[in-house]
Amino acid sequence: MKLQRLNPAHAPAYRAITLEALDLHPDAYTSSAEERALRPAAWWEARLNPDPDFNEVVLGAFDDDGALVGTAGLSFEAREKGRHKVTLFGMYITPRCRRAGLGAQLMNAALDYASARPHAKIIQLTVTEQNAAARDLYQRLGFAVFGVEPYAIALGERYLSKVHMWRALADLD
C-alpha cells in the first residue's frame, strides 16, 4: 500500500470514498452521506489544499492498482491557545482492505504527520461507543478515553454516544 497526503487532484476519489464511508457506516460519522453529496467539487478540492501550513490534511492509502482505499484526516487548531491540539477525522478503510493492518498503518502515518507539525502536542478523536473494532485500534495505538458524549449523533429516532479519546504526540513537560 502507498500512503500519501491527498491534494486537489484526488478530490473525486476522496469524495467517492467519503460518501461510501458515510453511506455504509452512518453510525460512525457526524455528517451524513446526503449532506456531503450536496457539496460542490470546489469544496472537496479546497479541503485537500496542498499548502504545507493548511489547517486540514487528509492522508490516503492506495492499493497496488492506484485506487484510494483508506483515508484519515487531521485538523490542526489555528488559535494560539489551542494550537497544541490536533483532531483526527474521517478515518476509513474500504471493506475489502480491512483486517490486513492497513488501519494501523494509516493511523501511524497520521500520527507521524501530526507529530511533525510545530506546536502539536496531543491528538484527539471521537469514536462511536458501539464501534469496538475502531476503539480497540485506537487503544492499541496509545489513545485513552477522557469522556463520553451521550446523544452525540441522531440516526432517526436512535441516538448514539461518542467516546472522546486522546494521546500525546510529544513530551508534554
pLDDT score of 171 more than 80? no
| pLDDT (tens digit per residue) in 55-99 | 999 999 999 999 999 999 999 999 999 999 999 999 999 999 999
Count of all residues that appear for the chain in the document: 173
Q: Does the residue 10 lie in any domain? A: yes
Q: Does the residue 36 lie in any domain? A: yes
At residue 9, the 3 state secondary structure works out as: helix
Q: Does the residue 173 lie in any domain? A: no
Q: Does the residue 33 lie in any domain? A: yes
CA-based torsion, 2, 84, 45, 91: positive or negative:
positive
Q: Does the residue 87 lie in any domain? A: yes
Number of domains observed in the structure of the chain: 1
Alpha carbon 93 to chain centroid, angstroms: 10
Domain that holds residue 97: 2-168
Task: Please tell me which residue, 100 or 161, carries the higher pLDDT value.
Answer: 161
Average pLDDT over the chain, rounded to an integer: 95
Q: Does the residue 68 lie in any domain? A: yes
**CATH code (residue 116):** 3.40.630.30
